[in-house]
Structure 1
Amino acid sequence: MSKTATRDDRTLDRESGPAASPLVPPPKLRRRPALIVAALVAICLGALLAAWAWTATTNTQEVLVARDTIERGAVIQADDLARVRVSADPALQPVPASQFDQVVGQRAAYDVAAGAMLTPESFSQAVVPDADNSIVGVALTPAQAPGLDLATGDRVRVVVTPPEGAEMPEGVPQFSEATVAGVRTSSETGQLIVDLLVPHADAAVLAARAATGNVALVLDSRER
């Protein structure tokens, strides 16, 4: 009888053993607010960068630039120009690349540096100087030039002044009327070099006066 009881006890133990073992609850997932915030920030930054890239590419335009330096008065050749895509300020009024054929064959209105964008004022069909006019360069010290910056198209007078120690001759001072065609500063002397457009008949007289150094430049009204 004792052997039977033992077998029964073992049977009960095996059957009741698994049921008596405790159940392990599933692990709880921890929420990490910092990671969620970082993910949202990354998504927003990605959207902003995509919007910026789209805006940058859609606001660009293809314009004409000088491949090499184009000197004033030179005929613009096809090899002188290059097409580049830039995000240009509309206030600059660059020449669009679609006008390539219209620009080729024109003359440079002033020196265009290599890499500079062309504007409608960069070129013209007119030749400077034309057959009836000449260009005379006048070197001026700060005391001989106006205080205002000179610009192409300004109307000026080159007035003859007396040499140092001499008296001003009686009567109306002699002068030559001219139009400013260009302005630059000499890297050697530091003087202001003003290229003046004058009638062909007056060029020799103005050149002789300028050579003495006894001249002063007068800026006349800019009203048109």
Structure 2
Amino acid sequence: MTRIHPPRTGTPGRAAAPNGSSPAHALLPLPRRRGRPALLALAVAMVVLGVLGAAYLATSLGQTTPVIAVAREVPWGQQITAEDLVEARVSADPALDPIPFGDRDQVVGMVAATTLTPGSLLTREALTAQPLPPPGQQLVGIGVSTVQLPTTPLRPGDDVLLVPVIGSVGTGAATPVGTTGVVEATVVRSGSPGTDGLRVVDVLVDVADGPDVAARAAAGLVAIVVVAGE
């Protein structure tokens, strides 16, 4: 018996594609990726710029400038000496405006406009050329015993009241005479207790009050009251 074969489909000489897909699609070559020279050049340029930027930043951070720093505390109103200053090196920073160390000779002899703390950078805003006492005021030294001032240390710039008292120093019988004659003053410096047990406090008072305060201070008839800060 003669067998009848079904007609063959597809292109002669080519095997049928698996999964029933078209042979034409299965044998198509994969698309080739085109090179992108512009993108490659841009990437290289960005890498180079990044390296150059990092190098510039490292160089800038490594560059420092000598400036003036405070070596020890300088109370408000005190004259600045060479021993109060020390050299420090800092990187350039727009937020900082320290005085160059080369201007140290110009700083020596000026007056601290605020209390200068050790380790801080010195700026021109912290200095004044006006020595104490300023115009319209007088500097008076007041000797007081432990019962005539608070136990809390007085600081330069503290606002105080000078209250007249009656009695004698050292007897413990000093008594305020009321608010009459009370004088407003500003502390400039508070010394250490002497051998007589008195502590001398330098204060600034108005010119009109200076002579009376000095006379009472010489007699030990002044008590110091600290005014609350604002």
Give the C-alpha shift of residue 85 in structure 1. 3.7
Corresponding position: 1:175 with 2:179: no
1:104 and 1:59 map into 2 onto residues whose CA distance is 25
Query: Taking structure 1 as reference, are residues 211 and 60 closer, same or farther at Cα in structure 2, changes over 3 Å only?
Result: farther
Aligned mates of 1:203, 1:122 — CA distance in 2: 28
Q: What's the CA shift for 1:100? A: 2.2
Q: For residue 23 of structure 1, what is the aligned residue in structure 2?
A: none
- The 8 Å contact of residues 62 and 83 in structure 1, kept in 2 or not, is answered as no
Of 203, 211, 225 in structure 2, the residue corresponding to residue 204 of structure 1 is: 211
- In structure 2, how many angstroms separate the alpha carbons of the residues matched to 1:99 and 1:138? 40
8 A contact 2:69–2:122 mirrored in 1: no
Change (3 A) 1:61 1:215: same
**Which residue in 2 is equivalent to 1:219?**
226
CA distance in 2, matches of 1:150, 1:169: 20
Tell me what 1:84 maps to: 87
- Structure 1 residues 122, 158: CA separation in 2 closer, same or farther (over 3 Å shift)? same
Once the two structures are aligned, what percentage of the paired residues are identical?
A: 26
Letter in 2 for 1:182: R
- Counting only pairs closer than 5 Å after superposition, residues 185-204 of structure 1 correspond to structure 2 as 185-204=192-211
Separation of aligned partners in 2, 1:219 and 1:104: 32
- The Cα shift of 1:119 comes to 3.6
Equivalences for 1:1-224 in 2 at 5 Å? Answer: 62-64=66-68, 74=79, 84-85=87-88, 95-97=98-100, 100=103, 103-104=106-107, 107-109=110-112, 119-120=122-123, 123-164=127-168, 172-223=179-230
TM-score by length of 2: 0.50
Structure 2 gaps of 5+ residues are 1-60, 91-95
Distance 1:59 1:139 in 2: 52
* Distance 1:153-1:171 versus aligned 2 partners, 3 A rule: closer
- Structure 1 stretches lacking a partner, 5+ long: 1-56, 88-92
Q: How many residue pairs get matched?
A: 160
The one-letter code of the counterpart of 1:124 is: T
- 2:110–2:129 contact (8 Å) kept in structure 1: yes
Letter matched to residue 212 of structure 1: A
After superposing the two structures, state which structure 1 stretch, 93-102 or 117-126, moved more. Answer: 93-102
What value does the CA root-mean-square deviation take over the aligned residues? 4.7
**Deviation at residue 192 of structure 1 after TM alignment:** 2.5
Secondary structure in 2 aligned to 1:143? helix
Find the aligned partners of 1:82 and 1:108 in 2 and give their Cα distance.
13
Hey, what's the Cα distance between the residues in 2 that align with 1:178 and 1:157?
6
- Is the 2:141–2:203 Cα contact (8 Å) retained in structure 1? yes
Contact 2:165 2:177 in 1 (8 A): no
Q: How far is the alpha carbon of 1:80 from its aligned partner?
A: 7.3
Residue 102 of structure 1 deviates from its aligned partner by: 9.7
